[in-house]
């Protein structure tokens, strides 16, 4: 078998229109360092006051509120069976979301960026697993389950992040 060695450019080279140019020639490291600004403690506190962080608990609360409103409308327009299905659909979204919010706001998540990332990944897996288990158990938990009502409520609750943004603390 014939083996052919193909020359490869070094990692610091880029080929443009048949010419070899240095990879780093297009970057100005001094300009990048000048653009970066380190905030002082006072500047960081002012930034936090001006643009507050959205709490994950507000998102969970908005999901619960949307679920209750949809279930109440279902009870008023259709019947109690559909309302219970809608309420269970909101629980399938809000309960795992609450678990995720609890994990995301724990002290372990604030130790370091790698620990925080692993914690978020772990809690996301817990969230998905609990959601799947709740969906599998839905026909056993809710008598006369209405799948369309449950799934529609789940979609509305998952899309309720916009409502949480309305509850976000106002800028001073």
Cβ-contact 150, 134 below 8 angstroms:
no
- What is d(CA 114, CA 134) in angstroms, rounded to the nearest whole number? 30
Which token pair is 21? 């140019």
- What is d(CA 131, CA 136) in angstroms, rounded to the nearest whole number? 9
Residue-by-residue pLDDT tens, the chain, 172 positions:
555 555 555 554 555 555 555 555 555 555 555 567 788 888 888 887 887 777 888 889 999 999 999 999 999 999 999 999 999 999 999 999 999 989 888 887 777 778 888 888 899 999 999 999 999 999 999 999 999 999 999 999 999 877 777 766 665 5
Quick one: which of 76, 45, 107 has its CA closest to 68? 76
pTM: 0.68
Residue given tokens 């001006």 in the structure block = 50
């Amino acid at each position: 078998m014939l083996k052919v060695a193909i020359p490869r450019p070094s990692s610091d080279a880029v080929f443009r229109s048949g010419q070899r140019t240095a990879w780093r020639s297009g970057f100005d490291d001094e300009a990048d360092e000048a653009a970066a600004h380190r905030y002082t403690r006072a500047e960081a506190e002012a930034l936090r006051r001006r643009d507050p962080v959205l709490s994950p608990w507000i998102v969970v609360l908005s999901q619960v509120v949307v679920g209750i409103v949809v279930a109440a409308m279902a009870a008023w327009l259709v019947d109690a069976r559909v309302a219970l299905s809608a309420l269970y659909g909101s629980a399938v979204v809000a309960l795992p979301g609450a678990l995720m919010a609890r994990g995301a706001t724990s002290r372990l998540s604030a130790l370091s960026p790698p620990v925080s990332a692993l914690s978020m990944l772990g809690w996301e897996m817990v969230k998905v697993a609990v959601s799947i288990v709740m969906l599998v158990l839905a026909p056993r938990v809710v008598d006369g389950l209405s799948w369309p009502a449950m799934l529609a409520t789940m979609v509305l609750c998952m899309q309720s992040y916009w409502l949480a943004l309305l509850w976000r603390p106002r800028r001073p």
